[in-house]
């Protein structure tokens, strides 16, 4: 029976479920150790702040109120009735190490609450992967780590979603994810971590180079997780939405999910995991 000591979330912006058409050996290795859905659904509208906000705060955009413009210009209120996964972790234990490494800076300052002791770094994807790996090697006792990688969405807006050019960016993102997974392994922190890899939205549903609609190409994402208590090689058959990620994180860290959250824990995801 395994023990979950920490949670790592790696977000692939704009990758939808197009990963199935790309060569992603590091993601495949993670999936072989755990569970995956290629039919998970994201929030509406299918835009980054709305969707990452749903993942972080456990509610849909009509409640957390985030938009790209707000995230770029305003700090998320520290007294919101919809606390983020970081805030509930901090309120439960003032001493735990929390970190966010984001290629899109508004996540760090407009979506995650300020002044709750989260170590925050913003820089381009490759540098983010290397900085995350360095952090893991020096702080393997962290409790919650979020990483945002942006290349798939950049390529989708430039070349179109699920195009050869975007698939190449997804493969580059997989390589960067491998840097992070290797760092966890080298720190002897992989087997007792819950690692979630997820996209915020797809694209190309109504406009080849955009997203935001409820078209299945925009709305459908992949959601993968591996760690103690998750049976290897599991296909998640029950419905799962990006908002549910917050409930999964709370469960893995042994935290009480706020009553205000809409997030629900997938019933059959965990089997025998203990929390620490």
pLDDT digits (tens, 9 = 90+) for 106-145: 999 999 999 999 999 999 999 999 999 999 999 999 999 9
Q: What is the pLDDT of residue 267?
A: 87
Is the pLDDT at 239 greater than 90? The verdict is yes
Rounded Cα gap, residues 257 and 259, in angstroms: 6
Q: In the chain, count H helices and then E strands.
A: 11, 10
Q: What's the pTM value of the predicted model, to 2 decimals?
A: 0.97
Q: What is the pLDDT of residue 268?
A: 86
Give percent of the chain above pLDDT 70.
97
Across 260-270, average pLDDT? 94
Q: What is the pLDDT of residue 109?
A: 93
Tokens of 81: 């009735």
* Sequence spans of domains, the chain: 3-275
Question: Among 154, 151, 121, 153, which residue's Cα sits nearest to residue 136?
Answer: 121
Is the pLDDT at 159 greater than 60? The verdict is yes
Q: Which tens digit of pLDDT belongs to each residue from 16-74?
A: 999 999 999 999 999 999 999 999 999 999 999 999 999 999 999 999 999 999 999 99
Is the pLDDT at 155 greater than 80? The verdict is yes
Is the pLDDT at 275 greater than 70? The verdict is no
Is the pLDDT at 238 greater than 80? The verdict is yes
Instruction: State the burial class of residue 164 (Cβ atoms within 10 Å of its Cβ: 0-12, 13-18, 19+).
Output: exposed
Q: What is the pLDDT of residue 273?
A: 44
* Upper half-sphere CA count for residue 162 (Cβ side, 13 Å): 18
Across 78-94, average pLDDT? 97
Instruction: Give me Rg for the CA atoms of the chain.
Output: 17
Q: Which residues pair with 108 in a beta bridge?
A: none
Q: What is the pLDDT of residue 100?
A: 98
What is the sign of the dihedral through the CA atoms of 171, 223, 257 and 183?
A: negative
Confidence of residue 1 (pLDDT cuts 50, 70, 90): very low
Q: What is the pLDDT of residue 276?
A: 47
Q: Which tens digit of pLDDT belongs to each residue from 184-205?
A: 999 999 999 999 999 999 999 9
Is the pLDDT at 97 greater than 90? The verdict is yes
Beta-strand relationship, 274-275 and 35-41: unpaired
- CB 268, CB 248: distance < 8 Å: no
Q: What is the pLDDT of residue 222?
A: 98
Q: How far is CA 18 from CA 23, 150, 152, in A?
A: 11, 15, 10
Tokens of 43: 């929030």
Rounded Cα gap, residues 118 and 179, in angstroms: 22
Tokens of 20: 């199935």
Is the pLDDT at 265 greater than 70? The verdict is yes
Residue matched to tokens 């992070």: 180
Question: Among 246, 250, 153, which residue's Cα sits nearest to residue 200?
Answer: 153
Rounded Cα gap, residues 197 and 235, in angstroms: 14
Question: Among 108, 117, 70, which residue's Cα sits nearest to residue 89?
Answer: 117
The dotted CATH code for 3-275 is 3.40.720.10
Q: What is the pLDDT of residue 71?
A: 97
DSSP helix/strand/coil, 121: strand
Rounded Cα gap, residues 176 and 129, in angstroms: 6
């Amino acid at each position: 029976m395994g023990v979950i000591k920490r949670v790592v979330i790696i977000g692939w912006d704009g990758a939808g479920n197009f990963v199935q058409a790309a060569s992603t050996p590091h993601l495949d290795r993670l999936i072989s150790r755990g569970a995956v859905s290629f039919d998970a659904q994201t929030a509406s509208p299918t835009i980054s702040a709305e969707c990452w906000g749903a993942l972080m705060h456990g509610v849909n955009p009509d409640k957390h109120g985030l938009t790209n413009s707000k995230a770029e210009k305003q700090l998320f209120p520290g007294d919101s009735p919809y606390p983020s996964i970081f805030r509930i972790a901090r309120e439960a234990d003032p001493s735990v190490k929390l970190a966010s490494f984001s290629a899109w800076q508004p996540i760090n300052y407009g979506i995650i609450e300020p002044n709750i002791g989260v170590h925050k770094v913003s820089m381009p994807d490759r540098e983010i992967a290397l900085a995350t790996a360095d952090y893991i090697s020096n702080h393997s006792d962290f409790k919650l780590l979020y990483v945002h990688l942006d290349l798939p969405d950049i390529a989708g807006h430039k070349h179109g979603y699920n195009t050869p050019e975007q698939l190449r960016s997804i493969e580059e993102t997989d390589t960067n994810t491998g840097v992070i997974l290797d760092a966890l392994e080298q720190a002897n922190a992989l087997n007792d971590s819950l690692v979630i890899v997820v996209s915020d939205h797809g694209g190309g549903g109504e406009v080849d180079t955009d997203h935001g609609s409820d078209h299945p190409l925009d709305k459908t994402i992949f959601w993968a997780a591996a760690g103690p208590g998750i049976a290897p090689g599991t296909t998640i058959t029950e419905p799962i939405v990006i908002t549910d990620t917050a409930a999964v994180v709370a469960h893995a860290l042994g935290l009480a999910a706020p009553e205000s959250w809409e997030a629900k824990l997938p019933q059959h995801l965990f089997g025998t995991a203990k929390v620490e």
